[in-house]
Structure 1
Amino acid sequence: MVDNRVGDSTSERRLSRIAAKLATVEASPDRWGGVFGAEEHSFRLSAPMTEAAVAAFEAGHGVTLPGGYRRFLLELGSEGAGPDYGLRIPSYEICGNLAAPSFIEPGQERITDWSYAYLDAGQKRWQGTLAVVDHGCSVRTLLIVTGRWRGRLAHADVDGAYGPYLLEDTDFLSWYERWLDELLSGCNVSMFGWQKLPGNEHTLRHILTSDPSPARRQMAARSLAALPRLSRNGRQALLASTRDTDPLVREEALEALTRSKTTSSGTVER
């Protein structure tokens, strides 16, 4: 089981940074007019939950919420500002028994019939998770509350057949701060988490050209297209990946080339 509890001092620093970055975003509403779903929350958080309310939710479901998420609820807010239509309160959508271990594992996003393995269990296929973001239709960002990957987040179409994508962010606070960082830097944050891996262009190029996992190379290609601008080196990496041994990587690289904007120099943007 992953222990992703955040130390008090680290949590304090992250929460302070998040509050400051969110204030920066909220202070410039005109800048974010084209961000999908922003009209639902205007980059504002609702009031935090009380300790009594959080404890009652946990007791009612027989769980303890992951530490970073719990502190966010208590100190910053319970819903509102977040990717697409924003953060939802913990009780917004309980995807089965929260106390039962989640089935989500790394590498399931390429399994086209993943959900059929759990059809007999109905919504138990999403057990151990709660929806923290509604991206529209049946697409959610799920927080894993119970199981080996407790505290991590996954992007999933909860009514679809494809497997969920386990995000690489280590916990809720790092995921939320990355959303703010990428929003402020001009990245495409629609369907946040599914569109981009953590990291700048240099990191993403290295994954695209060197990672042994075809799934990560595919995600790196998609991630490069989400950047506000791409250097000539980045474009060359995508061109080279159109000859990748994996057909899905090749397809993603071609699509990324059509969507990306290239800088006038070879400088890597960070």
Structure 2
Amino acid sequence: MTRSDWSDIRGRLARLAATPGSDAVFGAGDHGWELEPPLTAAEVTEVQEQLRVELPAEYLSFLREAGRGGAGPAYGLFPMRRRDGRWQWEGDGADLTTLAALGRPFAHVEAFNPADGLPPEPEEGDYDSEEAFTAAQDAHWERYEKVVYTSENSVGLLYLCHLGCALREALVVSGPARGQMWADDIAEGGGFRPLYDDDGTPLGFARWYRRWLEAAERQAAPG
């Protein structure tokens, strides 16, 4: 993944904001086609020193040249903010990023579901009483949540946007899939999966962002 040129982005977003049909694009009412200011070189240095990790080049160049968050896929890119001297991402699901674990490798290169291999949900007919069935259900869901919702599944992932219904997409910061975009479908009973372009190549941050922008332009185009 290489550094990208983002010099066209703000102009394209401004044209979209001025296009009457752009309000029909999903999520536009939340981000309003606006990007927050870019990070300065000093801020980028501070961010990476605090996180103890080097962010993938395409995303890093976006932060420095385009903006630190705002207009983007779905409800927009989670913005970076400094709170009490510490940098973090903010938004619905941004807290799924374990900042202290971004430098730990995300070990996967293929889709996986943490729930695979767990026993099926109990069925009431298999139990002699409602109390026994309820106890079995409680035990099942306690185990499910412990296995599926642990932050260990997402070490090395930087969550960047919320698609709605608790579905989110993230950038792999560390590990063999570094620089690639992945989907977190846990909320719908799925797992984690890499995102691909139309030709089957893995989506990096730049292509992921530009695919969204191109689709928004097509949708908002007059006629």
Q: TM-score, normalised by structure 2?
A: 0.69
Q: Aligned residue for 2:175?
A: 147
Aligned partner of residue 169 in structure 2, secondary structure: strand
Paired letter, 1:23: A
**Contact 1:140–1:157 (CA<8 Å) still a contact in 2?**
yes
Cα gap change, 1:59 to 1:121, in 2 (>3 Å): farther
What are the residue-to-residue correspondences of 1:1-270 with 2, within 5 Å? 4-6=1-3, 11-12=4-5, 15-28=6-19, 30-90=20-80, 91-92=88-89, 93=94, 95-96=97-98, 97-108=101-112, 111=113, 113-114=115-116, 119=147, 122-159=150-187, 161-168=189-196, 169-186=202-219
CA distance in 2, matches of 1:38, 1:88: 14
Q: TM-score, normalised by structure 1?
A: 0.58
Please report how far the alpha carbon of residue 106 of structure 1 lies from its aligned counterpart in structure 2 after TM superposition: 2.6
Please report how far the alpha carbon of residue 124 of structure 1 lies from its aligned counterpart in structure 2 after TM superposition: 1.5
Cα gap change, 1:41 to 1:120, in 2 (>3 Å): closer
Paired letter, 1:166: P
Paired letter, 1:184: E
**Contact 2:22–2:219 (CA<8 Å) still a contact in 1?**
no
Please report how far the alpha carbon of residue 161 of structure 1 lies from its aligned counterpart in structure 2 after TM superposition: 4.0
Question: For structure 2, which runs of at least 5 residues remain unmatched after alignment?
Answer: 81-87, 119-143, 197-201
CA distance in 1, matches of 2:117, 2:205: 25
Please report how far the alpha carbon of residue 132 of structure 1 lies from its aligned counterpart in structure 2 after TM superposition: 0.8
CA distance in 1, matches of 2:67, 2:30: 15
Residues 210-263 of structure 1 show CA distances to partners (whole Å, capped at 9, x for unaligned) of: xxxxxxxxxxxxxxxxxxxxxxxxxxxxxxxxxxxxxxxxxxxxxxxxxxxxxx
Please report how far the alpha carbon of residue 186 of structure 1 lies from its aligned counterpart in structure 2 after TM superposition: 2.5
**Contact 1:102–1:129 (CA<8 Å) still a contact in 2?**
yes
Paired letter, 2:192: P
CA distance in 1, matches of 2:106, 2:168: 15
CA distance in 2, matches of 1:49, 1:159: 32
Judging by fraction of residues, say which structure has more helix: 1
Task: Compare relative contact order (CA 8 Å, sep 6+) and give the higher one, 1 or 2.
Answer: 2
Aligned partner of residue 16 in structure 1, secondary structure: coil
Please report how far the alpha carbon of residue 135 of structure 1 lies from its aligned counterpart in structure 2 after TM superposition: 1.7
Q: How many residues end up aligned between the 2 structures? A: 175
Highest CA radius of gyration, 1 or 2?
2
Paired letter, 1:37: G
